[in-house]
């Protein structure tokens, strides 16, 4: 494979900043991905715009048998390149979004371009993964249904490990409606939203079960308007991660059963289960296959890892499609100032992806039934 051309594509992707919340920036990024894909694959993608968010899909032949899945949006705001320019120094590539996951997007396009027979391969590159895939979830699930495998080009875990398990993710917003009053003259006439939020945040944090791998974390909080006013309203966000759907449902029921502590306070809880878990059973056969291919091809054999972060691979596993995640870049620092990719690892990872897709097309397997109960 041509590493120089792949790195050139990566640089072009990274230097087109694409924060998820800036729809114009995401559209510009989609233009870049589309040009690169057309150059590598010989045909333009379908451009699918949902609620202003731009997604791209290449269907290379007949019905989808192997789905290559990635996203081109990032968490980095416009202007991040000024402090974090895209560069390769001493074999390390840096730049906003390089690890999560613009290198993975380039790898998917280049690996597919190497295939002698692409019939049945679909490449889907979405534009809102970092904010919960609200406009792309249905697209992802519909494309995955019936496929033999979903291969997710998210970055690897530590040391290049493939992500064979992911926790499910739920997101909530807890809003308190109180009553304002002058904080100095008559605070007793108010209903203090800040105090009610404190009670609720402590109650929510108690819903975690570390022994079961369930974390329930109150995060962003805001309340009040001025320093001399009893706050009449406020809210906090809640991040939930769990290894089983049963745990997600337990927490969901508890969140919806929250009740006010202070007389006169009201609670409004919104949100819910966002991504179901990616269980080990969803990835086991594919992981065994990729290890065997690596040995046969003389490529590095990747380890495996269970991680707390969620991805669009949770959705593909949720509809019963065997899923392997973390097939993309090797490096670290996702969402952080030290985000980076090890350049020497890119060729072997791309060749391993190519080998896996080719093997799945040449030697299809009977798709297993979905594990567990139907997932949201």
Do residue 113 and residue 213 come from a single domain?
A: no
Do residue 206 and residue 151 come from a single domain?
A: no
Do residue 319 and residue 187 come from a single domain?
A: no
Using the structure block, give the residue that is written with the tokens 């079961």.
212
Residue 366's pLDDT is what? 57
Do residue 119 and residue 241 come from a single domain?
A: no
Residue 1's pLDDT is what? 79
Do residue 10 and residue 122 come from a single domain?
A: yes
In sequence order, what are the residues at sequence separation of 6 or more whose Cβ sits closer than 8 angstroms to the Cβ of residue 102?
10, 13, 14, 72, 74
Boundary residue ending a domain (275, 308, 342):
275
Do residue 190 and residue 330 come from a single domain?
A: no
Q: Which two tokens stand for residue 297?
A: 């091809």
| Side-by-side strand order, sheet with 87-89 | 87-89, 92-94, 340-342, 331-332
Task: Specify if 20 maps to a domain.
Answer: yes
Task: Specify if 77 maps to a domain.
Answer: yes
Task: Specify if 376 maps to a domain.
Answer: no
Strand partners, 184: none
Task: Specify if 375 maps to a domain.
Answer: no
Instruction: Centre a 10 Å sphere on the Cβ of residue 59 and count the other Cβ atoms it contains.
Output: 17
Q: Which two tokens stand for residue 310?
A: 């969620």
Boundary residue ending a domain (253, 275, 297):
275
**The domain that contains 222 carries what CATH number?**
3.30.70.360
Task: Specify if 95 maps to a domain.
Answer: yes
Task: Please state, in angstroms and rounded to a whole number, the distance separating the CA atoms of residues 10 and 229.
Answer: 51
Boundary residue ending a domain (230, 259, 275):
275
Do residue 137 and residue 100 come from a single domain?
A: yes
Torsion of CA 241, 245, 247, 248, to 10 degrees: 60
Query: Which residues of the chain carry a pLDDT beneath 70?
Result: 366-376
Do residue 58 and residue 145 come from a single domain?
A: yes
How many domains would you assign to the chain?
Answer: 2
Task: Please state, in angstroms and rounded to a whole number, the distance separating the CA atoms of residues 255 and 250.
Answer: 9
Task: Specify if 353 maps to a domain.
Answer: yes
Task: Please state, in angstroms and rounded to a whole number, the distance separating the CA atoms of residues 304 and 163.
Answer: 6
Residue 376's pLDDT is what? 47
Task: Specify if 371 maps to a domain.
Answer: no
Do residue 162 and residue 76 come from a single domain?
A: yes
Domain span including residue 236 = 168-275
Do residue 270 and residue 181 come from a single domain?
A: yes
Do residue 190 and residue 302 come from a single domain?
A: no
Task: Specify if 193 maps to a domain.
Answer: yes
Residue 371's pLDDT is what? 41
User: What is the full DSSP assignment across 244-305?
Assistant: SHHHHHHHHHHHHT---SSTT-EEEEEEEEEE--B-HHHHHHHHHHHHHHHHHHT-----EE
Q: Which two tokens stand for residue 309?
A: 């972060």
2: left (phi over 0), alpha (psi -120 to 50) or beta: beta
Residue 176's pLDDT is what? 98
Residue 83's pLDDT is what? 96
Do residue 251 and residue 291 come from a single domain?
A: no
> Is residue 302 within 8 Å of residue 160, measured between CB atoms?
yes
Residues in the chain: 376
Residue 367's pLDDT is what? 52
**The domain that contains 105 carries what CATH number?**
3.40.630.10
Residue 372's pLDDT is what? 36
Task: Please state, in angstroms and rounded to a whole number, the distance separating the CA atoms of residues 84 and 205.
Answer: 35
Residue 87's pLDDT is what? 97
């Amino acid at each position: 494979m041509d590493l120089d051309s792949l790195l050139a594509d990566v640089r072009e992707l990274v230097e087109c900043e694409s924060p998820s919340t800036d729809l114009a920036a995401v559209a510009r990024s989609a233009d870049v991905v589309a040009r690169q894909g057309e150059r590598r694959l010989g045909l333009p993608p379908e451009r699918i715009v949902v609620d202003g968010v731009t997604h791209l899909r290449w269907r290379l032949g007949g019905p989808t048998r192997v789905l290559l899945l990635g996203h081109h949006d990032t968490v980095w705001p416009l202007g991040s390149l000024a402090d974090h320019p895209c560069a390769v120094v001493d074999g390390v590539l840096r730049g906003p979004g390089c690890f999560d996951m613009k290198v993975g997007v380039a790898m998917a396009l280049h690996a597919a371009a190497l295939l002698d027979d692409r019939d049945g391969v679909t490449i889907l590159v979405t534009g809102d993964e970092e904010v919960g895939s609200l406009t792309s979830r249905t697209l992802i699930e519909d494309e995955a249904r019936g496929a033999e495998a979903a291969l997710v080009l998210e970055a690897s875990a530590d040391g290049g490990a493939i992500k064979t398990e992911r926790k499910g993710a739920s997101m909530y917003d807890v809003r308190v409606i109180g009553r304002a009053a002058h904080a100095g003259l008559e605070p007793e006439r108010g209903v203090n939203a800040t105090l009610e939020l404190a009670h609720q945040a402590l109650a929510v944090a108690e819903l975690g079960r570390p022994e079961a791998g369930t974390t329930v974390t109150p995060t962003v909080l805001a309340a009040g308007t001025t320093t001399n006013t009893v706050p009449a309203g406020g809210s906090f966000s809640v991040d939930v991660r769990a290894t089983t759907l049963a745990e997600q449902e337990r927490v969901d029921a508890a969140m919806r059963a929250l009740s006010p502590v202070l007389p006169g306070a009201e609670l409004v809880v919104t949100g819910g289960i966002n991504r179901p878990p990616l269980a080990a059973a969803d990835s086991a056969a594919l992981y065994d296959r990729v290890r065997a291919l690596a040995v046969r091809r003389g490529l590095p054999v990747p380890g495996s890892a269970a991680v707390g972060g969620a991805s669009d691979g949770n959705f593909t596993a949720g509809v019963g499609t065997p899923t392997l995640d973390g097939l993309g870049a090797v490096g670290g620092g996702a969402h952080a100032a030290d985000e980076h990719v090890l350049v020497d690892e890119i060729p072997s990872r791309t060749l391993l992806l190519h080998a896996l897709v080719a093997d799945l097309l040449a030697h299809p397997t009977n798709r297993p039934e979905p594990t567990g109960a139907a997932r949201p």
